[in-house]
Structure 1
């Protein structure tokens, strides 16, 4: 019976990928990885840096083990580790991902000096008064007037949006982009519900809510009551 390979090296458009067996011991894995990389022709002095993706399968590594593998690969001179991909995550990581994908509903008025922050999407039923701040790792939906500060996608999500029944913010932030609101709103002006998003020029744009179906087609998670 043919013995399965512990380390399989495959070429990709971006560089190479290392497929590591998830059944053997960690010491066995390190030994064969070192041997395979030493024997391979990919480590040549006059070649440019090569991006490496390490695929771990169902193996979970501690931070120390990750560092050991990265150091081993980096010793091969022209290899640069871009990412480690595993099918396994810790309970804490799973809970964090769940929180980041949840919609938190809050019914209250955010007054001056108050800060409301959630890890995922925020649905606020109420106003954000001047001096108040709402922050979300995902999108922000406000069924009320936004007159304070709103910061969506604070973990670096450029696809996040901010929507409000009345869009009169003192400041808008999406990911690392910042934009002050225009000063042309009339106090008694009747307006549609609006949204803010980052456009192709990396600028925050305010537009009608209807444009989101084209700009962010993946925004709707459930359709048809499913």
Structure 2
């Protein structure tokens, strides 16, 4: 006679408990075993509250099911839910992720007074003239001259970069960092990129080759270009 499969695995960490829920059983089966495991591992009254992180694997929970888990764990006095993590996302979340990670290719000149703004990485085949602005939630790659303003990681991603065939911007911005004229050569430079140097706590201009060591994002960009 075979032993019953364990549906709930509990591991202790410095931050509390991590609960791994088998993703092949029914939700009701998982809840029943979870209730038993929580009672067996309930901390004593004098001990501080214990944080619990729940890992669902390839299981998607409805809002009602999440609420059931919250209620179950709250009922066991000394536990606090730190988070519920799943490898499964909704269709809307997947579409939003695809849009945010997509490379938007634009073939145009951004002239003075114009603003080109995209979600995801921007590949601009053309120039950004003085007074023109390009803005992206991801990286910015310009196959041309950058004379205007470029703002990468506009939603706060400090790991993004700005690269251009000819770099002579009036201003570079990455997330909440701003680089003005003293931070780069006023005469312009060829095939350079702007990125945040954490040690100097500012945007620097460097050779494109440094991205191979410092930025994983450029590798993702290369794969997306190769794979279409």
TM-score (norm 2): 0.78
* Contact persistence 1:151–1:172 (CA under 8 A): yes
More helix by share: 2
Q: Show the counterpart of 2:195.
A: 197
Answering whether residue 222 of structure 2 is matched by residue 216 of structure 1, we say no
Q: Show the counterpart of 2:172.
A: 172
Q: Show the counterpart of 2:20.
A: 19
Question: For the aligned residues, what is the CA RMSD?
Answer: 3.0
* Contact persistence 1:124–1:142 (CA under 8 A): yes
* Contact persistence 2:135–2:151 (CA under 8 A): yes
* Contact persistence 1:121–1:138 (CA under 8 A): yes
**Distance (Å, rounded) in 1 between the aligned partners of 2:67 and 2:114:** 41
Tell me how far 1:19 sits from its aligned partner: 1.0
Count of aligned positions? 221
**Distance (Å, rounded) in 2 between the aligned partners of 1:219 and 1:72:** 45
* Structure 2 unaligned regions, length at least 5: none
> What secondary structure sits across from 1:173 in the alignment?
strand
* Contact persistence 1:161–1:174 (CA under 8 A): yes
Tell me how far 1:212 sits from its aligned partner: 1.8
* Structure 1 unaligned regions, length at least 5: none
**Distance (Å, rounded) in 2 between the aligned partners of 1:115 and 1:154:** 14
Distance 1:19 1:208, change over 3 A: same
Tell me how far 1:219 sits from its aligned partner: 2.4
* Contact persistence 2:167–2:188 (CA under 8 A): no
Tell me how far 1:162 sits from its aligned partner: 0.8
**Distance (Å, rounded) in 2 between the aligned partners of 1:153 and 1:126:** 20
**Distance (Å, rounded) in 2 between the aligned partners of 1:173 and 1:104:** 19
Tell me how far 1:151 sits from its aligned partner: 2.2
Tell me how far 1:75 sits from its aligned partner: 5.1
Q: Deviations over 1:54-76 (max 9, x none)?
A: 11122111244334424543555
* Contact persistence 1:169–1:180 (CA under 8 A): no
